[in-house]
Each structure stands twice: as structure tokens, then as C-alpha cells.
Amino acid sequence: MASVRLYDIFNCKLGATQVLGAQEFEGGEDYVVLSANTDGLPGMAARDRGPYSAMARLTCQDIEQWADLVALWEASDSISVEAAGKKAGTPIGTSYAKATASRMKLAAASFAITQGNYGRATFDMLNSAAAASDSPDDEIAVVDVASGSVTHANKRRAVRVVGMSFDPNGAAGAIVAENLKALSVNLRLQTARDYGDDDWGQVAETGGYELTGSIEFGDVQLSSTQTIGQALLAADWGALTVDYQQQGYGTGANLMQIAIQNCFFDSQRTRFLSRQFGRNVMAFGAFFQNGADAYNFSGANQILTIAAA
């Protein structure tokens, strides 16, 4: 029997939404391993498999849709993830394999934009198994598809960060840093797993956003009292906006803006480097309740938005 090699990744979707620039899909299945003490035997007396769990991870270049993709889990308790890979030795539209990870809950998501690289986004997911599911194959399926074509998301990749402004609460004006080098945003959710006597698949729940990130710039503006990094650290909470450039040079329509509400800086590092330009590296976080307003990734009060600048 000849081996089947899979090549490349395409037609990647979170729910029904096509993602841009899929780079890696990973679907995993694991059993809880049971083991007994030896009772004087020369080896492990017993070893068995208990309940199983499943996971999925998707890495792509889709910065523009990142907040909207996170919001998919606010509309649905769980969603499916799809990815395809062509069979080596066949044209891409004639025969390929499609993986589907079902009933996935978001556990973490992140994105990063650095100078000299396309932006990169990652989504980590946990499976919440269906009732009476007795095999991980019920949750992650890889099937043969006889024919099909490649589809593409109508979006653009992020090329580089180009501007930053922080508007502190109650301040007279915004704090602006230039010469940006990198931006990263990390979202985590608390996770819990459970299983019962009749279910072999673990049930998962996630909730409670934690949003953090970091920004790096080479703009060490000096005054008589503090650097710009120290000024950001001393400021109250506020709105952080970061502009990035999409693929295709120019301004205007190629500029996108990331806006993070209820943001505050909690750490700063000023770096002097031998034979290199100095840097400021700032860490920040955001909170999801401000007075009577609760924030989310969808609805009236959105904690993070990505739109044309």
C-alpha cells in the first residue's frame, strides 16, 4: 500500500469564516493515562487509558479579522475548524484531505506584527466532546475529498506597525511614540475540564478574558524628568491606538488601526545596546468593566477593534 503524503494548507475556516494566510493547523487527541503502583512487581502493574481530550491550533496571517474571529465564540458556544491539504502528486483541485475539528472552544488567541515580517495570528482551542462520544475520532475527522478548489479570504496581510498614540483618561493630550518596531497582543481564557461515567470524551468550558500585550519602539524621547516610556508608565488608563500598514505600499486605504480600550501600561524597559539603536519595550493590559459598561469583542462596547485608519 502506497503512503499518502499531504502537502501545503488551504481552505482554512473558523466556523464559516475563511481565514487569510493559513500557515499551520494542528489537531490533537490525547487519552488520560492510568497507571498502578507495582506491588513488588518488576514493572508497572497496570496501565490503561481513561477519558480522552482533543485540541486544535490554527496559525495564520489574518490580523484584520482577528477580533471578529474571537467574537465568533461570543455568538456560538463552540465552533468547528477546517483545513485542507493536497495529496502529493495530484493537482490541487482534484484530490485532497480535509480535517475538521468539531465542538471547539477558544482557550487562547494572539497576534504579533514586527518590522520585516507579515503579521501572525494564533488560535488555541479545546474540544468539548459530544454526549455519549466514545472515541476521539468523533471530534476530529480527516477525510478524503475527491474534488475541490482553493478559496481565498478577501483580506490583506499586515506588513509593519507605523504609529502609536495613547490617550490617558483625564489627560490634556495624547502621548505619541514613533519609530515602532513590534506589537503583540495576547488573549487568554480560564479553562476547566470534566467528564462523567457515561462519557469518554472530556467536556470543556472556557471563560474570563485576560488581555495583555507589549509594544516596542525606538523612540527614546528625553525631557528633563522622564523618557517617553516612563511617561506612558506614569499615565492613567486610556485608549491605545496602533496603526499598521497592509500589504501594498502607500497610505490611506492601506493603513489599518488597532484600538484597545481600558488599557494601561504596567512595565517599561529602556535598553541601551552596543553598536545598535536603543529601544523602549512596554507591557500593557486591559480591563473589561469600566463603570457600568461591560466590554467584549462584539456588541456596543468592544475592547479591541481593527478597522481602516
Residue 266 lies in a domain: yes
Across residues 178-204, what is the average pLDDT?
89
Is the residue at 171 inside a domain? Answer: yes
The answer as to whether 43 is a domain residue is: no
| Mean pLDDT within 188-197 | 87
| Pick from 62, 74, 123: nearest CA to 301 | 74
Place of cell 485540541: 55
pLDDT bucket at 250, cuts 50 / 70 / 90: low
For the stretch 150-153, contacts whose Cβ atoms lie closer than 8 Å and that sit 24 or more positions apart, written own/partner, are 150/10, 150/11, 150/92, 150/93, 151/10, 151/11, 151/18, 152/18, 152/20, 153/18, 153/19, 153/20, 153/21, 153/62, 153/65
Counting residues of the chain whose pLDDT is more than 90, the rounded percentage is 60
The pLDDT confidence band at residue 56, using thresholds 50, 70 and 90, is very high
Read off the C-alpha cell for 202.
Answer: 472530556
**Are 226 and 276 a contacting pair, CB within 8 Å?**
no
Q: Structural domain of residue 244, as residue ranges?
A: 6-28+49-308
Q: What is the pLDDT of residues 8-35, one digit of tens each?
A: 999 999 999 999 999 999 999 999 898 9
| Mean pLDDT, residues 282-309 | 96
Q: What is the pLDDT of residues 91-141, one digit of tens each?
A: 776 778 999 999 999 999 999 999 889 999 999 999 999 887 878 888 999
Dist CA 49 CA 55 (whole Å):
18
Q: For the chain, give the mean pLDDT.
A: 90
With 0-12 / 13-18 / 19 or more C-beta atoms within 10 angstroms meaning exposed / middle / buried, residue 91 is exposed
Q: Quick check: is 235 in a domain?
A: yes
Answer whether residue 40 shows pLDDT above 90.
no
Residue pLDDT, tens place only, 217-235: 988 776 667 888 999 999 9
Q: Is 277 domain-assigned?
A: yes
Would you say residue 71 has pLDDT above 80?
Answer: yes
42 lies in some domain: no
Question: Into how many domains does the chain fold?
Answer: 1
Domain membership flag for residue 1: no
Tell whether the model's pLDDT for residue 196 goes beyond 70.
no
Q: What is the pTM of this model?
A: 0.93
Of residues 225 and 67, the one with the higher pLDDT is: 67
- Residue 139 included in any domain: yes
Least confident of 109-118, 248-257, 261-270: 248-257
Q: Report the alpha-carbon distance of residue 103 to residue 126 in Å, rounded.
A: 8
